[in-house]
Amino acid sequence: MSWSGSTVDSSEEREERLAYNEAIFRSLNERIASLEIDFGRNALHDFICECSTPDCFERITLTRVEYELVRNDGTHFLLAHGHEDIEIEQTVTLSKNYIVVAKDGPAGIIALNEDPRA
Ligand SMILES: [Zn+2]
């Protein structure tokens, strides 16, 4: 997959780029989850918002159990409230501290391909 050779920012290219941004933060959260594993599954941990904004480092507090539920589906991402982009994702879970969104179309395929647990 490459976007070299084209300066046209089609909506599909934009969607792909945003999907990769989110995949990067998901990998970061996977590392947080693996580091924190010794502290117990019901302890609260700070994860990082997986929205499509590259410079968003918003902290989201949830338990490892809640985090695992998000990670069960390779197209699901963990976001802070208000960080969803309704053009590329749809909300599947609304919680007090966070929301979970699902990707479909080209972004969903990238999300699955980049799934660190696949
Ligand atoms: Zn965010």
Whole-number Å distance, alpha carbon 108 to ligand 1 midpoint, is 18
pLDDT in tens, 56-80: 999 999 988 899 899 999 999 999 9
Tokens (6 digits) for 89? 């994702």
Chain centroid to CA 87: 15
Q: Is residue 5 part of a domain?
A: no
116 Cα to the center of ligand 1, angstroms: 20
Res 107 pLDDT > 60: yes
91 CA to middle of ligand 1, Å?
A: 14
65 falls within a domain: yes
Q: Both tokens of residue 48? A: 């990082």
Q: Is residue 3 part of a domain?
A: no
Q: Is residue 6 part of a domain?
A: no
Ligand 1 centroid to Cα of residue 94, in Å, is: 15
Question: Residue 37's pLDDT band (boundaries 50, 70, 90)?
Answer: low
Residue 23 Cα, ligand 1 centroid: separation in angstroms? 13
Burial of 32 (0-12, 13-18, 19+ CB in 10 A): middle
44 within domain boundaries: yes
Residue 106 Cα, ligand 1 centroid: separation in angstroms?
Answer: 21
**Domain ranges, residue 66:** 11-113
- Residue 74 within any structural domain of the chain: yes
Q: Is residue 4 part of a domain?
A: no
Write down the pTM of the prediction.
0.72
Split into its structural domains, the chain has a count of: 1
- What spacing in Å lies between the alpha carbon of 19 and ligand 1's midpoint? 13
